[in-house]
Structure 1
Amino acid sequence: MTEILLIPGDVPLRDWRAIYRGASLRLDPASARAIAESAAAVERILARHEPVYGINTGFGKLASVKIGDDDLATLQRNIVLSHAAGVGAPSPTAIVRLMMALKLASLAQGASGVRPATVALLETMLAKGLTPVVPCQGSVGASGDLAPLAHMAAAMIGVGEIKLDGARLPATEALARVGLAPLELGPKEGLALLNGTQFSTANALAGLFETELLFQSALVTGALATEAAKGSDTPFDPRIHALRRHAGQIETAAALRELMAGSAIRASHLLGDARVQDPYCLRCQPQVMGAVLDLLRQAAATLATEANGVSDNPLIFPDTDEALSGGNFHAEPVAFAADMIALAICEIGSITERRIAMLVDPALSGLPAFLTPKPGLNSGFMIPQVTAAALVSENKQRATPASVDSIPTSANQEDHVSMAAHGARRLLDMAANAMNVVGIELLAAGQGCDFHAPLASSPALEAVRQRLRDVVPMLDDDRHFHPELLAAADLVRSGAIVAAAGLGLPGLA
């Protein structure tokens, strides 16, 4: 991957996707001036000896407590140590790296009052592969993602653990191994590091990027399932979708037509097929998947804006030497976006499972029962469909909106919170469930098309089927299914199925 030049406030979604996928990055040198001016403004504000929240006062409910000049460094260190109170499994490395990059881009906009050396340390840690160990639970998505970001900040000051070259090391040891020293926090810096929505946003963006791949993969397997059932492509006629005017629906129908173009199986449907209409899981793919696409793009727009914003508090304005206290740390936009993505994942899995169920039912598909040449002696795809149903049900439960909940915290100072963090954190698990469902459809649809030999599908779908057959042969007699489910899901997760189709499928910006 090419190195990403991080231009604070102007990072396109594709660059955040590349960083999530492992691309290196460097901060635009032009941001140095704004960072220095912001730090200088904090010094001028302190020189006035007036109480300013987060700089020389306590935090949250303790904001009325004035802190003396001699204790300002201790104040910032204390907030990091006291707020590093997360629990649960360590967040995935890709999530933490993305969170760090988001924080870097935020601090570098010159509204947070941190010193150039602090920004430089964060950038260097990313460059040298130092990933703080950040527990995944503990944020309510308001007043910032305090606990997760505090664990990141703690690693920067030499407390806690850091992952380096696959090993978990004490933070001071990991920093020393790459020639770095722990940071001594200046005024405002502890609060600036742990206040903001970067943990929630990183998880939501990761969920968004995985769901984009899930969406495209399900378009491919949905087209293949339509072929296996000898379904009609009339419902994909562009005139139908132009009348409804939804962009996602129009693009999805076009993609399905392109995926099925040139299919001999499709042509055989025109010769004496008595069916008048296909079930909704085939016929309404443009309407369902198109709505999913529109929803994902709306979530993407929200998250792209959030990723380029500044969400800590108070915010520093060097032109007037003001520190303004507001509420940009409230992650309601991220919570809404995460809930939308959860709905999208749920619906992709739901309609996919219905196609699997249709294919294994001979009354609906016209194929052998459970897609096995010898039903009765063999169970065929009976239980993979059960597995798909179990995963879809689990995702339905997880799709309950997180944003509608709020539990007041900090002695009612923070009396309404977004719950964005766990709303976003669930998305990777939900996407993994749905990818397993799409993998099962890949197996079932490929098997269904095998029964139509010597008729072939379209060039695009035959390339997909060949990619499947490279790792999983046709099912003649029952055999150990588990390894083949894993192999099919891996083809989905890796993007191999989308790549094999060889088409420019609709997605995000």
Structure 2
Amino acid sequence: MTVLELTGEDLTIEMIKDFLGNSDAVVEITEEGYRKINASRKIVENIIREGKTIYGITTGFGLFCDVLISKEKAIDLQANLIRSHCCGVGRPFSEDAVLVMMILRLNTLVKGHSGVTADLADQLKMYINERIIPKVPEQGSLGASGDLAPLAHIAITLMGEGEVYYEGELRQTADVLEVLGITPLALREKEGLAMINGTQPMTAQGVLNYIEAEHLMEASLWIAALTHQALNGITDAYNEKIHASRGYTAQIYAAERMREYLEGSRLTTRQGEVRVQDAYSIRCIPQVHGASFQTLEYVKDKLETEMNAANDNPLIFSEDEVFSGGNFHGQPIAIAMDLLKIGAAEIANISERRIERLVNPALNGDLPAFLSPEEGFQSGAMILQYAAASLVSENKTLAHPASVDSIPSSANQEDHVSMGTIGARHARDIIDNMRNVLAIELLIALTAVELKGKEKLSPKTREKFEEYRLVADFIEKDRVFSMDIENLSLALSAVK
């Protein structure tokens, strides 16, 4: 059994990846984690007993922050908060995304700055370990004050309301809890606010985006190496000295990988043998793909910082230090997701240009036009390029930065918001499109190198050829290609 211990300090993307890859994985809270939870809870109870005015504990929320709430209504206040904030719309987040949201939220609570009870932490831990996954609509968050609506849809299920996915079925939460003998949680003072003031939905989707994007960007290099060989590309452009002279680590890495993938090929050429230079979509693979790899470095740093961040409000540090601030504001993740969108979109852009070179008879050397087995009678890969062009065009609209937009809310009390969850969702969509474009390039490249002579492939790309030829057949006649694209796309995905 895989055990993920949450400390609030050292959670990584790799840990989340391992957790998702093991169906029996569970989370645990360390003794120190419980100590910090209990210590911060004691401070909240002292605040209530002494009647201090603290936002969200003894006051209303947003514009109502100056409205004092009596002790008798303090608990009902939390339930009202959660129910009123459950206004998400649209299709639900994936079950994996919601599972990661819950892990990240629990990791934040373990830091001991949120003032929740150990009972709430245990209920959330139980949901994670039993794989009781709330249904969370993915639209309706401004990304500050945190992802309020999505997190409310998680919190309400802890109370026994709403809907959850359990054992592959969408069911009423109350029914699942009854079957499992779990008592619904009555949220206490501060706990409703502690559950929804945070950036976990945008961050969780961002983590899944990163895992998939990193995997696909690696795959894009060996796919490009297949295309390079189909077009008898020139290897001199990947010479180590060229890339060392510029100094970008990611560019140097991409060039090194291309050299490794092409080593031993009898389909590549040297400058001047067939042509002096290749087009940019071949010659500049290290520069373009490398720049996209650079976005991953930035995104990973911001995600792993946020995964271990205290992004509640107010934050509790001691009896005399309970501060209202803005750590729930999603701007750091919003900008990171917008950057990831650009990086992923550019991989799809350059891939589509290589697709065009593979099918265009004016550009593909001695390959058949559109790789058609009977030119004129059969269209071959002609419309595959159309599909790729459509996807990259769609990406250009999705790549518009969400983080530069803001609409004031709560009667201008919350007058600047991040739109980070929109950015994370659009990044996911761009990455999905990128994967399909790469699948199209792979489908065409597999046929193109077979026409050129698969026995001449480099050893490393020959291995990939044999693996993915089992997924999609040679284009020997016109057929319905959408299934080939879907199967290759699934085979390329990091999360099956």
User: CA 1:359–1:45 in structure 2 vs 1: closer, same or farther (change >3 Å)?
Assistant: same
Per the TM alignment, residue 22 of structure 1 is displaced from its structure 2 partner at its CA by 5.4
1:40-84 superposed Cα distances (whole Å, 9 cap, x missing partner): 111112222121101010000001011111111101111111111
Larger mean CA deviation between 475-484 and 128-137 belongs to 475-484
**In structure 2, distance between residues paired with 1:51 and 1:271:** 75
Amino acid at match of 2:291: A
Residue pairs, 1:97-496, within 5 angstroms: 97-266=99-268, 269-270=269-270, 273-318=273-318, 320-366=319-365, 367-453=367-453, 455-494=455-494
Amino acid at match of 2:184: P
Partners of 1:225 and 1:445 within 8 A in 2: yes
Partners of 2:29 and 2:110 within 8 A in 1: no
SS in 2 for 1:451: helix
Per the TM alignment, residue 290 of structure 1 is displaced from its structure 2 partner at its CA by 0.4
SS in 2 for 1:63: helix
For residue 501 of structure 1, what is the aligned residue in structure 2?
none
Per the TM alignment, residue 6 of structure 1 is displaced from its structure 2 partner at its CA by 2.5
Per the TM alignment, residue 368 of structure 1 is displaced from its structure 2 partner at its CA by 1.4
**In structure 2, distance between residues paired with 1:177 and 1:356:** 53
Aligned Cα root-mean-square deviation (Å): 1.6
Partners of 1:109 and 1:310 within 8 A in 2: yes
Larger mean CA deviation between 414-423 and 484-493 belongs to 484-493
User: CA 1:271–1:374 in structure 2 vs 1: closer, same or farther (change >3 Å)?
Assistant: farther
User: CA 1:22–1:335 in structure 2 vs 1: closer, same or farther (change >3 Å)?
Assistant: farther
1:374-394 superposed Cα distances (whole Å, 9 cap, x missing partner): 222221110001000001100
User: CA 1:271–1:147 in structure 2 vs 1: closer, same or farther (change >3 Å)?
Assistant: closer
Per the TM alignment, residue 272 of structure 1 is displaced from its structure 2 partner at its CA by 7.4
**In structure 2, distance between residues paired with 1:18 and 1:242:** 34
Partners of 1:56 and 1:72 within 8 A in 2: yes
For residue 503 of structure 1, what is the aligned residue in structure 2?
none
Per the TM alignment, residue 19 of structure 1 is displaced from its structure 2 partner at its CA by 3.4
Amino acid at match of 2:446: G
Per the TM alignment, residue 20 of structure 1 is displaced from its structure 2 partner at its CA by 4.5
Partners of 1:42 and 1:321 within 8 A in 2: no
SS in 2 for 1:292: helix
Per the TM alignment, residue 271 of structure 1 is displaced from its structure 2 partner at its CA by 10
SS in 2 for 1:445: helix
SS in 2 for 1:365: coil
Partners of 1:6 and 1:25 within 8 A in 2: no
**In structure 2, distance between residues paired with 1:95 and 1:455:** 43
Residue 11 (str. 1) matches residue 11 (str. 2): yes
Partners of 1:159 and 1:170 within 8 A in 2: yes
Partners of 2:211 and 2:494 within 8 A in 1: no
Query: Structure 1 regions of 5+ residues with no counterpart?
Result: 497-509
User: CA 1:494–1:108 in structure 2 vs 1: closer, same or farther (change >3 Å)?
Assistant: closer
Per the TM alignment, residue 28 of structure 1 is displaced from its structure 2 partner at its CA by 3.3
For residue 80 of structure 1, what is the aligned residue in structure 2?
82
**In structure 2, distance between residues paired with 1:494 and 1:345:** 15
Partners of 1:238 and 1:254 within 8 A in 2: yes
TM-score, with structure 1 as normaliser:
0.94
1:80-126 superposed Cα distances (whole Å, 9 cap, x missing partner): 11111111112110010000000000001100000001000000111
**In structure 2, distance between residues paired with 1:122 and 1:173:** 17
**In structure 2, distance between residues paired with 1:102 and 1:147:** 16
Larger mean CA deviation between 474-483 and 210-219 belongs to 474-483
For residue 30 of structure 2, what is the aligned residue in structure 1?
29
Per the TM alignment, residue 450 of structure 1 is displaced from its structure 2 partner at its CA by 1.0
Partners of 1:213 and 1:495 within 8 A in 2: no
SS in 2 for 1:357: helix
**In structure 2, distance between residues paired with 1:170 and 1:454:** 55
1:310-336 superposed Cα distances (whole Å, 9 cap, x missing partner): 101000113x34321000000000100
SS in 2 for 1:352: helix
Per the TM alignment, residue 420 of structure 1 is displaced from its structure 2 partner at its CA by 0.3
Amino acid at match of 2:312: D
1:136-176 superposed Cα distances (whole Å, 9 cap, x missing partner): 11100001100010111101011111111112222111122
**In structure 2, distance between residues paired with 1:458 and 1:154:** 56
1:155-211 superposed Cα distances (whole Å, 9 cap, x missing partner): 101111111111222211112222211101111001000110011111111111111
Larger mean CA deviation between 20-29 and 425-434 belongs to 20-29
SS in 2 for 1:328: coil
Amino acid at match of 1:37: A
Amino acid at match of 1:65: V
Amino acid at match of 1:26: V
User: CA 1:495–1:240 in structure 2 vs 1: closer, same or farther (change >3 Å)?
Assistant: farther
Larger mean CA deviation between 200-209 and 341-350 belongs to 200-209
**In structure 2, distance between residues paired with 1:270 and 1:14:** 40
Amino acid at match of 2:227: A
Amino acid at match of 2:350: I
User: CA 1:38–1:495 in structure 2 vs 1: closer, same or farther (change >3 Å)?
Assistant: closer
Residue pairs, 1:62-77, within 5 angstroms: 62-77=64-79
1:199-225 superposed Cα distances (whole Å, 9 cap, x missing partner): 111111111111111111111111110
Partners of 1:21 and 1:94 within 8 A in 2: no
User: CA 1:290–1:491 in structure 2 vs 1: closer, same or farther (change >3 Å)?
Assistant: same
**In structure 1, distance between residues paired with 2:271 and 2:75:** 81
Query: Structure 2 regions of 5+ residues with no counterpart?
Result: none
**In structure 2, distance between residues paired with 1:350 and 1:192:** 42
User: CA 1:158–1:207 in structure 2 vs 1: closer, same or farther (change >3 Å)?
Assistant: same
**In structure 2, distance between residues paired with 1:454 and 1:328:** 55
User: CA 1:289–1:480 in structure 2 vs 1: closer, same or farther (change >3 Å)?
Assistant: same
Per the TM alignment, residue 21 of structure 1 is displaced from its structure 2 partner at its CA by 4.5
Partners of 2:6 and 2:30 within 8 A in 1: no
Partners of 2:2 and 2:19 within 8 A in 1: no
**In structure 2, distance between residues paired with 1:55 and 1:285:** 55
Amino acid at match of 1:430: I
User: CA 1:454–1:341 in structure 2 vs 1: closer, same or farther (change >3 Å)?
Assistant: closer
TM-score, with structure 2 as normaliser:
0.97
1:218-248 superposed Cα distances (whole Å, 9 cap, x missing partner): 1111111001101011111110000110010
Partners of 2:337 and 2:423 within 8 A in 1: yes
Partners of 1:8 and 1:28 within 8 A in 2: no
Amino acid at match of 2:322: A
Misfit runs of 4+, over 4 Å: 20-23
